[in-house]
Amino acid sequence: MKTVLLLVHDDAGQEARLQAALDLTRALSGHLRCVDVTPIADFAGDVDGAAQAMILAEERKTEAANRIAVETRLAHEQTPWDWIDATGDVTRCLMREAGLADLIVVNCKRDRLLDVEPRGVVSNIATQARCPVVAVPDHVRGIDVTGPVVVAWDGSPPVMATLRAGAPLLKLAASVELFTVGDQEGAPAEAAATYLSRHEIHATIRRIPADGGKPDAQILEACAAAGAGYCLMGAYGHGRLREELFGGVTRRMLDAAQLPLLLGR
């Protein structure tokens, strides 16, 4: 786990993404790959493309200035990095570079129909990428990879895949808690603990009964109680519309998260 792919764009979530990506890259002794995306907006009635061309020119000026600012910061971070300029759909631009990435850093903001904000790509990225995705709330600054970690364990294939891929990161954690709610249909938490032990990660298991509450709220409460640096969980795809790409638990976790989420499928 060495290559961290970062979405760079001058928006409200950039600082959260940047600081988390730097923390991850340093902790993993890795390489930061910055993908600076200039999106292309579509306008109804813009027959000759004049409005699109004007907006694109302004966006490129903004991103050129943003690149100077971010590169100036990176020059003082003592972290190896490289830079890719891209123009077009944000998801497509990131996915073009994701084939050899080990982690992708985006924001928790979900992509919704008719919402063209560049940082709202987590649903598309997490359901397409073959590596885990770190989704960071806009207000969070950095990610504590050496603190406690909560794994939202339900025994499903997505969480198993994320656990396997995230093992190098989990090995850095002070503690790992496998948190389960109610009866599990998939692989038991004991199997996950045994798997982690082979990677010299000694996880504890915490079970609570299903009491009719929402699992996402219970997971977030467990994260707060543990003082978790991040939460590892599976991402679930259920439909064709972007609002329905994730199951309810994943969607609500993204909307309510107060800490970074490590997602995979």
Chosen domain end from 98, 114, 136:
136
Give the pLDDT of residue 147: 98
Give the pLDDT of residue 243: 37
Q: Which residues contact 152 (CB under 8 A, 6 or more apart)?
A: 159, 179, 215, 219, 231, 232, 233, 234, 253
Give the pLDDT of residue 58: 79
Higher pLDDT, 104 or 54: 104
Banded model confidence at residue 186, pLDDT cuts 50, 70, 90:
confident
Banded model confidence at residue 185, pLDDT cuts 50, 70, 90:
confident
Average pLDDT of span 37-65: 72
Banded model confidence at residue 241, pLDDT cuts 50, 70, 90:
very low
Average pLDDT of span 154-179: 96
Give the pLDDT of residue 39: 82
Judge whether residue 194 has pLDDT over 50: yes
- Is residue 143 assigned to a domain? no
- Which residue range is the domain that position 229 belongs to? 148-264
Banded model confidence at residue 41, pLDDT cuts 50, 70, 90:
low
Average pLDDT of span 162-171: 97
- Is residue 142 assigned to a domain? no
Give the pLDDT of residue 235: 85
166/232 Cα distance (integer angstroms) = 8
Lowest pLDDT segment from 75-84, 107-116, 174-183, 224-233 = 107-116
Give the pLDDT of residue 240: 36
Give the pLDDT of residue 264: 93
Give the pLDDT of residue 244: 39
132/34 Cα distance (integer angstroms) = 17
Sequence-ordered alpha helix ranges (H) in the chain: 14-27, 50-74, 90-97, 122-128, 157-170, 189-197, 215-226, 248-256
Give the pLDDT of residue 86: 94
- Is residue 41 assigned to a domain? yes
Chosen domain end from 111, 136, 161:
136
Any idea which residue has 């045994």 for tokens?
A: 194
The mean pLDDT value of the chain amounts to 89
Lowest pLDDT segment from 34-43, 57-66, 132-141 = 34-43
Judge whether residue 49 has pLDDT over 90: no
- Is residue 160 assigned to a domain? yes
Residue 232 belongs to domain with CATH number: 3.40.50.620
Judge whether residue 201 has pLDDT over 90: yes
217/223 Cα distance (integer angstroms) = 10
Please tell me the total count of domains within the chain.
2
143/134 Cα distance (integer angstroms) = 10
- Is residue 123 assigned to a domain? yes
Banded model confidence at residue 213, pLDDT cuts 50, 70, 90:
confident
Within this chain, do residues 127 and 158 fall inside the same structural domain, yes or no?
Answer: no
Within this chain, do residues 132 and 12 fall inside the same structural domain, yes or no?
Answer: yes
Chosen domain end from 85, 105, 136:
136
Average pLDDT of span 118-143: 93
Within this chain, do residues 157 and 108 fall inside the same structural domain, yes or no?
Answer: no
